[in-house]
Structure 1
Amino acid sequence: MFRGRFDHTLDPKGRLNLPAKYREILAEKYNDQLYLMSLADGESLRIYPLKEWEDLEAKVAQFPSMNQHIDNFILQVSYFSFECTLDKAGRVLIPQTLRDHVGLTRDVTLIGKLKFIEVWDKNKLISKLEEIKRNTEFRAYLAGIGI
């Protein structure tokens, strides 16, 4: 499971050095195979171990392909995605198209989201956290499920 927060910088080529903790998980459980994707909203980039992404694809494949919501999901993740492998230095190359879509420049924050890693532009994440803090519906939902 991916947990925690890590502040990092992208190098000029768009490579992101993953924290040692995440690299260990990826090497031991997932053979360093990754799937990078972003939803159309472009809020953040998600780094899935390829196996976890394939499990999600299997769930999506169970729905009728003519379902417009499923079709839209497949369209956006196919357009904003990239399959890759960690290099020997533990870095992942984030293609320019994905960096542009998400607004990643230099300073980024990685958030462990259990089965995947989320990569945020540092300033965009701060704004998102402020938005969440003001969301009373969110707090009520968590209280309702005992969290």
Structure 2
Amino acid sequence: MFFGTYTPKLDEKGRLFLPAKFRDQLTEGLVVTRGQERCLTVWSMEDFGRLTERLREAPVTNKGTRDYVRMLFAAASHEVPDKQGRISIPPALREYASLNKDVVVIGSMNRIEIWDPASWTAYSEEQEQKFSELSDEVFPGI
């Protein structure tokens, strides 16, 4: 499980030091791809495999399924952390998420998200207003 907020930096080659607390779960490799709200999503190989299996079950005759699969897989990059815990973020993904040197990395249960700091700040400030209301939607009756 991934949780917490970290602020590592991209190096001049577009490599990111994964937070130390996340590295053990990703030593066998990971997939980084587009996420929603213009962030990047990092999946362990195991969880990306589960996601892939669920998408295989979705009807390819559904245009939404086709669109989602195309966007997700076209941008996907398989990475293996080096001995220092770094992964490369491909240029197209850095551009998609507006990543420069400073980034915000958040744990989001079974995945990691990588954000541009200004985008994360704007998003989290907007969501903070809704957080207590969302609990009723996510956990009705509790």
1:46 is matched with which residue: 21, 24, 41?
Answer: 41
The runs of at least 4 consecutive aligned structure 1 residues that moved more than 3 Å come to none
**Is the CA contact (8 Å cut-off) linking 1:9 and 1:106 kept in structure 2?**
yes
2:20 counterpart letter in structure 1 = A
Number of aligned positions between the proteins = 140
**Which residue is 1:142 aligned to?**
135
Matched residue SS, 1:9: coil
1:71 counterpart letter in structure 2 = R
1:99-147 Cα distance to aligned partner (Å, 9 max, x none): 0011000111110111111000111100001111234xx5323135267
1:34 is matched with which residue: 30, 33, 39?
Answer: 30
| 1-structure distance, mates of 2:134, 2:22 | 30
Matched residue SS, 2:61: coil
| 2-structure distance, mates of 1:124, 1:37 | 17
2:3 counterpart letter in structure 1 = R
Matched residue SS, 2:8: strand
1:36 counterpart letter in structure 2 = V
**Is the CA contact (8 Å cut-off) linking 1:17 and 1:91 kept in structure 2?**
yes
For residues 1-147 of structure 1, the aligned pairs below 5 Å read 1-27=1-27, 31=28, 33-39=29-35, 43-135=38-130, 139-144=132-137, 145=139
| 2-structure distance, mates of 1:140, 1:20 | 33
The runs of 5 or more residues in structure 2 that have no matched partner are none
| 2-structure distance, mates of 1:2, 1:133 | 20
| 2-structure distance, mates of 1:127, 1:141 | 18
- RMSD over aligned Cα, in angstroms? 1.6
**Is the CA contact (8 Å cut-off) linking 2:10 and 2:102 kept in structure 1?**
yes
Q: CA deviation at 1:42?
A: 5.5
Q: TM-score, normalised on structure 1?
A: 0.88
Quick one: percent identity of the two aligned structures?
29
| 1-structure distance, mates of 2:26, 2:40 | 17
The runs of 5 or more residues in structure 1 that have no matched partner are none
2:18 counterpart letter in structure 1 = L
